[in-house]
A and B are shown apart, each in its own frame.
Chain A
Amino acid sequence: DAGVTQSPTHLIKTRGQQVTLRCSPKSGHDTVSWYQQALGQGPQFIFQYYEEEERQRGNFPDRFSGHQFPNYSSELNVNALLLGDSALYLCASSFNVPGIKTFFTEAFFGQGTRLTVV
């Protein structure tokens, strides 16, 4: 059973460019969350997608956007890249218990995409 897979593993972009990161959730999971982990820091919640909609959003600017597809996979897009966007981007998947919109199983994390902005 494949866990959470992310692509690419590493990426180098130039300031001002746009980037798209991809995530496939663990089999059976329907919810995807994205986190940004700056060097030496804990992960910070960006947003969460469920039923192809953004359910909750952290304190990140509109330059950060996302999408969830019918197969539950997800993309994170970042526009107008800044040097400060350099970080490890983690995807986590979980399962929303049917009939209980606020109850999710534990989150499983992918290995992340290391984004470097130069």
Chain B
Amino acid sequence: GDSVTQMEGPVTLSEEAFLTINCTYTATGYPSLFWYVQYPGEGLQLLLKATKADDKGSNKGFEATYRKETTSFHLEKGSVQVSDSAVYFCALSDRGGAQKLVFGQGTRLTINP
């Protein structure tokens, strides 16, 4: 079945550092790809998405590019802030199905001032 693999965490960075969180996927179809963020004590918020190869999703300074050839969707940000501390989830959905989301295990990010 479909699956998502994220880089193991936790990740700790200093403020203004460059961030990369790796995500690779396995899917039988042509999925849509997502990054969700979960702040402490809250549900999931959609951060960005991409629906076809070479699409770049972006939001709040975060970016991720849908790479079909490497089955990857790595999350990047050029300069992180303390407020970016959260858990980040990579996910996919089979666009041909009922939009069931398959999530990675999550990466906890901590930004120190």
Contact = CB atoms under 8 A, between A and B. Distances in A.
Interface of A: 4, 31, 33, 35, 40-45, 48, 50, 55-56, 58, 90, 92, 94, 102-104, 106-112
Interface of B: 4, 34, 36, 41-46, 49, 89, 91, 95-106
Contacts of B106: 40-42
Contacts of B34: 106
A97 B78 CA distance: 36
A48 B99 CA distance: 9
Contacts of B46: 106-108
A58 to B, nearest CB: 7
A45 B43 contact: no
A45 B97 CA distance: 13
Given A33-B100, A41-B105, A45-B101, A102 B43 contact: no
A107 B101 contact: yes
A102 B44 contact: no
